[in-house]
Amino acid sequence: MSKKTSKDDNTVIISDKYISESGVQSGKVIGEHIALGSFIAGIPFFIIGLIALFGILLNFGFPKHTAFTILATLFTVIGFLLIIGGYNIYRTKHTNK
């Protein structure tokens, strides 16, 4: 494994002798960012969906149209799946070292 460091912006590029190993290393880095991004993106979806669902169920001024109920449910489910997916990617990456 060879390391190249740029003195301008303190960037370290790690490359292996074989191209396939370099791809694996970059995939691990990309997976870390995808996990963080999906977890962060899932939180607002989940919260907005829950607020809308509670507003529909408790009559807080949200309309009770079928389309709005389906939309609120989809927001909640999509947010929950993003949070769970991000957590699973993060956990898998850090337990398989």
50 CA to centre of own chain: 19
pLDDT of residue 23: 65
pLDDT of residue 6: 54
Which tokens belong to 44? Answer: 């607002």
User: Helix, strand, coil shares of the chain as percentages rounded to 5?
Assistant: 70, 10, 20
User: For the chain, which residues make up each domain, given as ranges?
Assistant: 30-95
Residue ranges of the chain whose pLDDT lies below 50: none
Residue 40 neighbours by CB distance under 10 Å: 12
pLDDT of residue 21: 63
pLDDT of residue 14: 59
Q: How far apart are CA 67 and CA 78, in angstroms?
A: 16
pTM of the predicted model over 0.85: no
Strands 11-15 and 2-6: antiparallel
